[in-house]
Structure 1
Amino acid sequence: MEGKDTVFAADIWAREGWASAELTLGGAGAHRFADRIAVTWLRPDAFAAGTARRVLAAVAERGFRVLAARPVHLGPAGARALWAYMCRWATVERLWLLDAVVALGPGLLVLWADDTDSPLPASARLTAGKGNGAPGRRDGQSLRDLAGALNRVLTMVHTADEPADVIRELAVFCPSWQERVLLIEEAATRLAEGTAGSWEAACRQVETELPAQAAPDRAGTAGPVVRGPGVLYQGELAERWAALRAAADTWPLLAPSPGPVSWPEQARRNPWR
């Protein structure tokens, strides 16, 4: 995207992610890696909703081959880092909700290769099928539709939008230098050999920590009234999930005016339109 290179040249996560890739694969190898890798993070809300495996199967059906998978638990600082640029329209309430999402438990990070002959970078093709955050702007066939994404907060599926984001998000999801290099090496080896990894063991690990929760009965009850962020962290997992769903349905999510613009494409992006 126009202007993103200038912004990411000064971004600490992008710089660290690039240093890891370049030192592991060399400059040209790091560029090829970024171009040929797609990244998904099946978020904690997808596991709470019990739909993560459905999305993983759909990604494979669309011509992507799994290279490596890791459980990843983002805290509030990690959530701010991941969505630092995309939250320019977010209300404070929306930030509280994102914190509550990552507080549910881990998500599943998966690196994929694109085995089709698409001219797009792997990350861009996968993101094109992810679907909009707003349910009314999706086509019914997107990954977020398959996940049952409910609204602009409980979107269930995250992807790195393009190669620059692949590099940056490696540093966000894997803040440990050693773990990041091991992940890059594993994915790059399978990419070069044309072999596949598996997400099964990592997925089971996430499911053990964050089992699927029953959906609230919307027909018979009004659901919990959530008046502040504290209740999102109180009680058992089922209670926190129910409170999070209720708050995401009722709290304001879009600010009337945006925060700072980082690159021209963002200046043209208006979720109110």
Structure 2
Amino acid sequence: MRLAARGTDDLGRADQDRSAAFDLAGPRWDRLTDTDGKADVFARDLFALEGWASLAGQLGEQQAYAFAERTSLMWLRPDAFAAATARGVLAAAEAAGFRPLAAQPVRLERCGIRVLWAYMCRWATTERLMLLDALAALGPGLLVVWTAGTGSARAAGGEPVSVRMTRLKGRNDARRREQASLRAVAGSPNRALTMLHTPDDPADVVRELAVFCDRAERAELIRQASTHLAGAQPAAIEGAVRAVEAELPPLGLPSRHRPGRPVQARELFAGPVEARWAALVAASHAWPLLTRTPQAAFWPEQEMRSPWT
């Protein structure tokens, strides 16, 4: 069809259609996070904008806000599957009142690791980043979408579900971790092998949908989760769990004791998975994980937090 054959009304409607489908305005980020300054950062974050475009384009604006508030993500990392504790974490989350809505295996590559923790690794050493790369190279993890079992828009006390789940997750420092936390259930031994990741607030839920999933995967995950969110029954996620276990069988958490010599970096990336996992565990105890010269903060609250104090 020649463009000249179309009337001005047709062109106007076409422009409106393109805008509705592909140029969705970002949300009011201050509605999705209470952290001072974070809304301004996320308004310029490409993954945050992409995640919102998928949610709002698929569910509509108001339902997109509701989805972000009523759900949380959990990435059960490869170390949880290698340590054979992933199933225990899933059971503990359900026992704490959370209900799974959808799940799929997710493998993050080196760049995905850096994107996921772009705002949280300001204290990380280069050794810690190498350990994260080795972790990702072990195999896939499992991404699960959860809601609170109450079925309300927010968890008890008016909290978004992501805030409640992150509190249950527990600290990454094993010495200060609550004994009833999910990381305690997972047997996380230190700041490097934390076993699971959850978003801190609804803004992170939106952003991380785009970090973990491409466009087609994201659409299917949102479809499944929103369908189960409208009901009362948990989603069946056993098939997704088995798919991860088929690629990364449970190995158990090996002893940190490796007499004789320190771990060499090449041991983390070459050889059978059992040897790489043992080297990763040993290196996670021996290598420096925190720097005393952090990168610049992204929002004011980060300046007030230090893992050294």
Same fold by TM-score, threshold 0.5 exceeded? yes
After superposition, give the CA deviation of every residue in 1:118-161 in whole Å (9 maximum; x if it has no partner).
12100000000111101011121110000000100000011111
1:99 is the counterpart of 2:138: no
Q: Which residue of 1 aligns with 2:224?
A: 186
1:86 is the counterpart of 2:124: no
Unaligned runs of 5+ in 1: none
Q: Contact between 1:41 and 1:159, CA under 8 Å: does it hold in 2?
A: yes
After superposition, give the CA deviation of every residue in 1:155-177 in whole Å (9 maximum; x if it has no partner).
00111111000000000110x21
Q: Which residue of 1 aligns with 2:87?
A: 53
TM-score (norm 2): 0.85
Within-5 A mapping of 1:102-251: 102-116=136-150, 117-118=155-156, 119-174=158-213, 176-217=214-255, 221-222=258-259, 225-227=262-264, 229-251=265-287
Q: By how many angstroms is 1:223 displaced?
A: 7.4
Identity of aligned residues (%): 54
Q: Which residue of 1 aligns with 2:61?
A: 27
2:288 to 241, 252, 256: 252
Q: By how many angstroms is 1:180 displaced?
A: 0.5
Report the residue type matching 2:134 in the other structure. A
Q: Contact between 1:224 and 1:242, CA under 8 Å: does it hold in 2?
A: no
Report the residue type matching 1:128 in the other structure. R
Residues 218, 198 of structure 1: alpha-carbon distance in 2 compared, 3 angstrom cutoff:
same
Report the residue type matching 1:8 in the other structure. F
1:16 is the counterpart of 2:50: yes
Unaligned runs of 5+ in 2: 1-34
Q: Aligned partners of 1:218, 1:37: CA distance in 2, in Å?
A: 36
3-state DSSP of counterpart to 1:17 = helix
Q: Aligned partners of 1:126, 1:213: CA distance in 2, in Å?
A: 27
Q: Contact between 2:82 and 2:253, CA under 8 Å: does it hold in 1?
A: no
Larger RCO, structures 1/2 (Cα 8 Å, 6+ apart): 1
Q: Aligned partners of 1:217, 1:252: CA distance in 2, in Å?
A: 19
Residues 218, 261 of structure 1: alpha-carbon distance in 2 compared, 3 angstrom cutoff:
closer
Structure with higher Rg: it is 2
Give the paired residue count. 270
Report the residue type matching 1:150 in the other structure. P
1:65 is the counterpart of 2:102: no
3-state DSSP of counterpart to 1:151 = coil
Report the residue type matching 1:225 in the other structure. P
Q: Aligned partners of 2:173, 2:261: CA distance in 1, in Å?
A: 23
